[in-house]
Amino acid sequence: MKKKLILLLALVLTIVTGFTTLSSTTANAATDNSLTKVEKKGTLVMGTSPDYPPYEFQATVHGKSKIVGMDVAVGKKIAKDMGVKLVVKSMSFDSLLVALQTGKVDMVISGMNPTPARKKNVDFTHTYYQGGYSIVINKSDKGIYKDKDSFVGKTIGAQTGSTMYNESKKQTSGTTVKGMTSVSDLILALQSHKIQGVAMEKPSAQAYVANNKELAAIPSKFDLSASDTSASVAFAKGSDALVAKANKSVDQIKNQNLVNKNYLPAAGKYLKTNTVNTSMLHYWKAFLTGIEYTLIITVCSVFFGFILGVILALARMGQGGVVRTGLRWLATAYVEFIRGTPMMVQVMFVYFGLGLIVNLPALTSGIIAISLNSGAYVAEYIRGGINSVDDGQTEAARSLGMSSGATMRFVVLPQALKNIWPSLGNEFITLIKDSSIVSIIGVSELIFQSNIVRSDTYRGVAPIAVIMVLYFVLTFTASRILNYFERRMQHD
């Protein structure tokens, strides 16, 4: 139905499950009391990816951004029947199942369909909604395309790794299938005529058509089994008690047709309020939050990254003795490893991997991961900076009776710092931009916020343009400030 895990995540998952097997004894013992645990806690944490109206999306309610949609209504019903409070946690769809397996969330409701592959890793309830597929096209093309078979020689878009994507490939011939990660991007591609149709779920298609007068929906006529179009609630493997309890709620929802009668119309109302005012100015609060988090992540990471970098650089330059050689070897290995792996994987590993040992919030995980990454790069800058200071400086200081530590601190480092200041400034500016990577674990920095605004307003380009300008304002201001300090440090 919706997206499957991307390859990258499968890798992390493998590593993470590797850890789980190592600590499986404790994990297994905890499964029996899954329901009691939630009841004791008093909260049921639901993970969802709020970029998929009307299933789940962000809406501004009484001036506050809030996750709403029919899935949230389903979650509320389940939590209410358990007598606990529902907490909604947002993250990218790709991260949801990992979050469930690592205990970051208690359940996942995100228009997820219970495929056999997913069933191997998590437990599903009965289905609470049976949907279908539509293809969204430009209204002007309405006469040309009738269903999936009308696109011979043309291009259909679908979310990468999703069931739609796979079925479009399988069930069409002579049609190119173009994959993109977000529906907003696909709609944008459709409107700029890069693709001719977008395959998506019926309720989503309806939402897009209702909110954008230039779009139209046609039936897909895909041949699908029931499990491909149904949505279920996912729980961690082995939490039978929780699943049994949730199934009672799900059955009620089905029997009373609550989704079609209550939940979807309610979600539609939010969609309407959402699209009444789609000017970017209306969303200034969302962007402000984005800037705030981007800056928090960057400043914290630069600070901790610098400290780590100094330690690593000194360790890498240590000489003589078993301990020093060992430290040098460790620091070198660390720097090489961090520089040789993608930051995205590091971010996911810290959030999900370390999450098995300590439950860190996404923001903290993001700051840790980026600091660890930045430290490796800063270490190299500092090492270069220290090497660039003339040996005579060290000799002069040592001949005055200063210890090696004092020499480093009072004589070498201040000069090294001055030499590498431009590189450090570059690193800071790079981090402002690179901090966007933590959007994948649901930290509401600029990219994450802009994606939300895009799916809320059904406007593809405007939010991108806004954050582009915002990023530039941030980096330009930063580079001016850094230049000012650089000038002040110039003595020779």
Binding footprint of another protein on the chain (CB under 8 A): 390, 392-393, 395-404, 406, 410-411, 414-415, 418, 489, 491-492
Could you write out the DSSP letters of every residue in 119-168?
Answer: HTTEEEEEEEEE--EEEEEEGGGTTT--SGGGGTTSEEEEETTBHHHHHH
Give whichever of 406 and 469 is closer to another protein, judged by the CB atom.
Answer: 406
**Computed from CA positions of residues 306, 312, 318, 323, in that sequence, does the dihedral angle turn out positive or negative?**
positive
Give whichever of 332 and 393 is closer to another protein, judged by the CB atom.
Answer: 393
Give whichever of 179 and 384 is closer to another protein, judged by the CB atom.
Answer: 384
- Please report how close the Cβ of residue 453 comes to another protein at its closest, in angstroms: 47
Give whichever of 337 and 485 is closer to another protein, judged by the CB atom.
Answer: 485
139 vs 310: CA distance, rounded Å: 59
- Show Cβ contacts of residue 146 under 8 Å, excluding neighbours closer than 6 positions: 218
- Please report how close the Cβ of residue 320 comes to another protein at its closest, in angstroms: 11
Give whichever of 42 and 414 is closer to another protein, judged by the CB atom.
Answer: 414
- Please report how close the Cβ of residue 481 comes to another protein at its closest, in angstroms: 21
In the β-sheet with 51-52, what is the strand arrangement from edge to edge? 51-52, 56-61, 64-68
243 backbone φψ class: left, alpha, beta (φ>0; ψ -120 to 50) = alpha
Give whichever of 340 and 401 is closer to another protein, judged by the CB atom.
Answer: 401
Helix axes 70-82, 240-255, angle to 10 degrees: 120
Alpha-helix runs per DSSP H in 341-408: 343-348, 362-388, 391-399, 404-406
CB 420 within 8 Å of CB 384? yes
- Please report how close the Cβ of residue 369 comes to another protein at its closest, in angstroms: 35
Strand partners, 216: 137
Give whichever of 191 and 415 is closer to another protein, judged by the CB atom.
Answer: 415
- Please report how close the Cβ of residue 59 comes to another protein at its closest, in angstroms: 56
Give Dmax over CA atoms of the chain in angstroms: 89
Give whichever of 21 and 399 is closer to another protein, judged by the CB atom.
Answer: 399
β-bridge pairing 197-201 and 133-138 = antiparallel
- Please report how close the Cβ of residue 310 comes to another protein at its closest, in angstroms: 18
- Please report how close the Cβ of residue 381 comes to another protein at its closest, in angstroms: 18
Cis peptide before 50 (omega within 30 of 0): no
71 vs 181: CA distance, rounded Å: 21
157 vs 66: CA distance, rounded Å: 29
- Please report how close the Cβ of residue 377 comes to another protein at its closest, in angstroms: 24
The number of C-alpha atoms within 13 Å of 208 and in the hemisphere containing its C-beta is 34
- Please report how close the Cβ of residue 398 comes to another protein at its closest, in angstroms: 7
CB 161 within 8 Å of CB 121? no
- Show Cβ contacts of residue 354 under 8 Å, excluding neighbours closer than 6 positions: 360, 365, 368
Give whichever of 480 and 491 is closer to another protein, judged by the CB atom.
Answer: 491
Give whichever of 152 and 492 is closer to another protein, judged by the CB atom.
Answer: 492
- How large is the C-alpha radius of gyration of the chain? 26
- Please report how close the Cβ of residue 405 comes to another protein at its closest, in angstroms: 10
- Please report how close the Cβ of residue 188 comes to another protein at its closest, in angstroms: 53
Q: How far is CA 318 from the centre of its chain?
A: 39
Give whichever of 308 and 408 is closer to another protein, judged by the CB atom.
Answer: 408
